[in-house]
Amino acid sequence: MNIEKLTDTQHRLVCADGKEIILIGTAHVSHDSVDEVQQVIDEFLPDEICVELDNGRYRSKTEEKGWENLDIKSVLKQNKGFLLLANLALSSYQKKLGNKMGISPGDEIMKAAEIATERNIPLTLCDREIQTTFIRAWRLSSLWNKTKLISSLLTAAFSKEEISDEDIESLKETNMLQSMLDEMAKELPTVKKVLIDERDQYLATSIYRSKGRRVVAVVGAGHAPGLIKHMQFLDEEENNFTLDEISTTPPSSPVGKIISWGIVIALLGIIVLGIVNSGWDKGATMFLYWFALNSSLTGLAALISLGHPITIILSMIAAPITALSPTLGVGMVAGILEITMRKPRVKDFESVTDDILHFKGWFKNRIIHALLLFFTTSVFASIGTFIAFPLLISSLS
């Protein structure tokens, strides 16, 4: 493969069979990137355009459908509350950057798609489905890394730091990008692998296997070095590479269920031991201690989160019960109760990515509020369970 660097953000790749790929690495919230896409397409007149989008995101943009299609109850029932929270925080952060720049995130990608439609140029959506990417990142991460991921995204979303046009354009500089990716690899290696490395492979393969003879490919600048590397590999080993492994979602880790069952068995074992040593009254007292601690902390979480009165009461009742079930969680119960008692309005769906950026929005927006109840009750109930262990053990003596 012959590679020619045209500008700091553009590369011309000529494959072994003569296919020509013009790769544009853009900042997703940059006016200059939108203009650059237009100029490159006008100059090279491609017979195919590839963009860093998947079918779901493309439909949501072109059909003007957004969070209004979100089935929050289904998300919570599938234990994807934390995943949705991370997704919302990331979307909000991108939107915040775009608002500061006076541009919507990914406008340069949509500009390329718009030109392809206007000029009847075949358009290829080259990215992996976003849900597959998020589920892979979530399931392949440890509990600690999941916590760090959500914390990082929420910190970025709430950050008041001002970002200039120059800062945005500097994101397209390879050295700066590589430094950022190296830092991510240290802190969240699994997330970096799924969000960057795997998608580099997926995007590169989709672009390389596109049918056009002269292709313009528009991707985020962070992907450009990885795409070039993988396309060089494909030019030499095309028949030996598939996307099967990184195109599927891995099964849920059994570790979580093992820990959940371990907690249940340990808790019941301590109570049974109390009965054996001191009789049924002692066992009943130990059980009530644990019940009261778990229930009260869950109720406190729902109360400080300003949950509906019915949500608070039923969550307190459900907390000890769900703690004995590895398949249920009080957060799921609290979230579903809140979304049932306070059904989301149209304006909640329309403003969800804006409201998550503001403290008041977490209580005003009914979608985010349900997620807040899910999060706080899950955390406080877990704290209650773990606090109970040393107290119950000490009561045996």
User: Domain locations in the chain?
Assistant: 2-247, 254-395
Q: What percent of the chain clears pLDDT 90, i.e. is strictly above it?
A: 30
Q: Tell me the two tokens of residue 343.
A: 């059904």
Rounding to the nearest 10 degrees, give the CA dihedral for residues 56, 61, 62, 65: 80
For the segment 203-251, what is each residue's pLDDT rounded down to a tens digit? 999 999 999 999 999 998 888 899 999 999 888 876 667 788 888 888 7
Rounded distance between C-alpha atoms, residue 81 and residue 385, angstroms: 21
Rounded distance between C-alpha atoms, residue 349 and residue 357, angstroms: 14
Distances (CA, A) of 265 to 255, 258, 368: 15, 10, 34
More confident residue, 104 or 9: 9
CA diameter of the chain: 86
Residue range 284-291: mean pLDDT, rounded: 82
Read off the DSSP letter of residue 251: P
CA-nearest of 337, 367, 338, 335 to 351 is 367
Rounded distance between C-alpha atoms, residue 27 and residue 37, angstroms: 11
Rounded distance between C-alpha atoms, residue 73 and residue 202, angstroms: 32
Per residue in 31-40, is it b (16+ CB within 10 Å) or e — as a string? bebbebbeeb
Return the H-helix or E-strand segment holding 5: strand 2-5
β-bridge pairing 48-51 and 214-220: parallel
Q: Is the full-model pTM beyond 0.75?
A: no
Read off the DSSP letter of residue 128: P
What DSSP string describes 174-205? Answer: HHHHHHHHHHHHHH-HHHHIIIIIIHHHHHHH
Above 90 in pLDDT, residue 41? yes
Residue range 131-138: mean pLDDT, rounded: 81
Distances (CA, A) of 141 to 84, 172, 199, 237: 15, 28, 17, 30
209: left (phi over 0), alpha (psi -120 to 50) or beta: alpha
Return the H-helix or E-strand segment holding 11: strand 10-14
Identify the pLDDT of residue 43: 94
Identify the pLDDT of residue 170: 58
Residue range 182-190: mean pLDDT, rounded: 65
For the segment 48-96, what is each residue's pLDDT rounded down to a tens digit? 999 998 887 788 777 655 555 566 777 777 766 766 776 676 666 666 6
Above 80 in pLDDT, residue 97? no
CA-nearest of 243, 230, 150 to 188 is 150
